[in-house]
Structure 1
Amino acid sequence: MTISIVKPQLVHVDDIARICAEGWKQTVAGILSAKYQKQNIAYWYNPGKVAQDVQAGLYSYIALVSMKVVGVIGGAMKDGSTEIYVLYVDSLYRYLGIGSKLLAALTEQQVAEGAKEQWVSVQEGNQLGIPFYEARGFIYKQKNMTETETSERQVSLRYYRKI
């Protein structure tokens, strides 16, 4: 199986939206209500919003297997520090090194742009994301709590690493 890491194009929008929506839903299953999940997905992962974000460069790379989008990562840099906004891999393609390849591509780009550290927020209890980032040198820094539009408490864990 050949995995290609490339910049996303508008033709990839529907697959990016699907992978992000499914991945995010899996991270909050049993934690946040179906109502909030539906609202959040409708806002962030609708094809129109994803298309805008692709054009703005917020989705940095996608992983392709046989021309099929199977993973996506997005992030940006500010003041020498970077934030990883999204990193999701289609559930049928997990544990094949795709997430690592996406992270490596984004990290290489960010280092070339002068980044010194990377930050990521991971949903508390996310047993896919937390071990992934910790295995790649990310260190837990703090817990953030926010209230959702549906008056639920969302807890994210902040991790960082020097790059």
Structure 2
Amino acid sequence: MRTRRQGRRRQPPGRGRRYVMAGIVLAALALPLALAGCGGVRAGGGERAGAVSPGAGQGAGEGGAAAVSSASWIGPLVKIQGTIYLLSDEPPVTEERLAGVIARVERKLDHEQDVQDGDSNFLDAGTPIYALQGVDVAEAVAAEYQGRFVVLRPNLDPGETGTLR
């Protein structure tokens, strides 16, 4: 038969408090880390370091027509002649490869709005858009950006926002 003395052992004074305090400190440190991982938002306004613009993408507009809103931008874009071109990661081209001006950027977008012909979210208004020698405009165009002639490729899969295929 058990007596009162054979029951649960008493811990030295203060030992239980230490474990409770350690648990509280650990929870206080772990909670912000766990919540930061759940937010899905990157520090610095959601842009990668070195990103050049808010992004590009497509969604349904009035009457089922494709429209682009800054809410879906995933990269630098320009819209000319009804086609959305995205900045490619190809090396810049030389001025000799340019075939001539086919359009100009009419408006630089800096906030959420639909993209119309002549709009860009990274090129300044007035920037010429060039055809490339020996390349169909449906495949690629070029524009001067930061002192280089960069290649822009069309968004070939408008069903997926800003995806090049």
Q: Shorter-chain TM-score: which interval?
A: under 0.3
TM-score by length of 1: 0.21
| Higher helix fraction (1 or 2) | 1
Question: Which is richer in strand?
Answer: 1
TM-score, length of structure 2 as denominator length: 0.21
